[in-house]
Structure 1
Amino acid sequence: MPKAETLLTSALVAVEGAHAFSAFLPSIFTIRRLAVPQDAVDDLRLGYIPASIFALALGTLASLILRNWWPLAASIMTIIFMISAYEWAIRSAYG
């Protein structure tokens, strides 16, 4: 089991990774509630790139500092979860 410092840093990395997605993309509620034309969907998906880069950079940096892979794993799991949530919102939009 990792030390508390590693777990807390990993949790912080995960939360900040999710915040990066909210900085580069509209909320899931907004996507679902508004009719999303295909060109807007393409623009939304472009937002995945900087958000993912930020989250990966943060996870990598924290992993290097702690010399532990947990922060990077937390970052990757957050990216997978956030992209899945946004893709679900795009597919289930009802606005």
Structure 2
Amino acid sequence: MTAESLGYTIDAAKCGNVGRFINHSCSPNMHAQDVLWDHDDRRMPHVMLFAEKNIRPLQELTYDYNYNIGNVRKNGKVKEKKCFCGSSKCRLRLY
């Protein structure tokens, strides 16, 4: 396995920027995109959020966390977390 095939994980539990306060929605008004702007190392892109449409003042900012559904733990049980986004298109679970 190479470093490139492992991908990366963002954990902002202890430190991060304002992006860590943006909630998930199954019908988001923003999307996340990997961007290289101050270096060319594809293993460590900056994750930037872009509006899907004009966002009204005081509207909650949301994006789809894009968790994989159906991940299985070593004990054979499926990991599952309910989604409470309230969208009419809600998938009912984050993963």
Larger RCO of the pair (alpha carbons < 8 Å, separation 6+):
1
TM over 0.5: no
Q: TM-score, normalised by structure 1?
A: 0.26
Higher-helix-fraction structure: 1
Q: TM-score, normalised by structure 2?
A: 0.26
Indicate the structure (1 or 2) with the bigger Cα radius of gyration: 2
